[in-house]
């Protein structure tokens, strides 16, 4: 066991909490993460470099995650991503937001699993198809690159 405290034991500062809240709200509303320029404008920062500095610190502290070589790939990291969170059913107007939250949770579950199964991948394809059917194709597309990086373990590999 390591003596070093986990990254999430370092609580975010007031400014960092504000940034995390902004990113989370943006993702909930749009289905994908904001660009640095959108963060700059949304939080009234004076430069993109300031945003990059704050985002970098949050990544180091373990509060944000960014996928390599992918635009709009910021994710807010929760203390425990191993828990499956069951969200209440949506009202009529926010099915898209609810579904985006479900997709995000399914990705976290698959990525936290010791091995990604075909069932994980199939469930994500179904959810992304539902997003498209509901008219949220842009949100579905923003998840496709992430889905293509998941490599399920084959049945033969799991039975050996």
| Domain edges within the chain | 11-76, 92-159
pLDDT at 44: 92
| pTM given for the model | 0.47
Secondary structure (3-state) at 65: strand
pLDDT at 43: 92
What is the chain's pLDDT, residue by residue, as a tens digit (160 residues)? 444 444 445 677 888 888 988 988 888 888 888 889 999 999 999 999 988 888 888 888 888 888 776 777 788 887 544 344 445 555 555 677 778 888 888 888 888 777 788 888 888 888 888 888 888 888 888 888 888 888 777 544 444 4
b/e 105-138 (16+ beta carbons within 10 angstroms → b): bbbbbbeeeeebbeebbebbeebbebbeeeebee
d(CA 121, CA 108): 12
Is the separation of the CB atoms in 124 and 110 below 8 Å? Answer: yes
Please enumerate in sequence order all residues whose Cβ is within 8 A of that of 3, keeping only pairs 6 or more positions apart, or say none.
none
Q: Which two tokens stand for residue 154?
A: 């084959």
pLDDT at 85: 45
pLDDT at 37: 92
pLDDT at 91: 59
Domain range 11-76, CATH class: mainly alpha
| Measured CA angle at 64 (ends 9, 62), to 5 deg | 30
């Amino acid at each position: 066991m390591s003596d070093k405290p986990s990254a999430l034991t370092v609580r975010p500062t007031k400014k960092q909490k504000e940034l995390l809240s902004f990113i989370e709200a943006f993702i909930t509303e749009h289905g994908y993460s904001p660009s640095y320029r959108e963060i700059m404008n949304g939080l009234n920062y004076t430069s993109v470099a300031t945003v990059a500095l704050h985002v970098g610190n949050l990544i180091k502290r373990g509060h944000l995650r960014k996928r390599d070589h992918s635009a709009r790939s910021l994710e807010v990291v929760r203390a425990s991503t191993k828990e499956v969170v069951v969200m209440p059913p949506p009202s009529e107007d926010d099915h898209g937001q609810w579904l985006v939250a479900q997709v995000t949770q399914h990705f976290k579950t698959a990525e936290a699993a010791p091995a990604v199964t075909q069932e994980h991948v199939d469930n994500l394809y179904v959810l992304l198809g539902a997003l498209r059917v509901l008219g949220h194709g842009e949100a579905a597309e923003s998840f496709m690159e992430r889905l293509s990086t998941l490599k399920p373990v084959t049945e033969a590999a799991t039975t050996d």
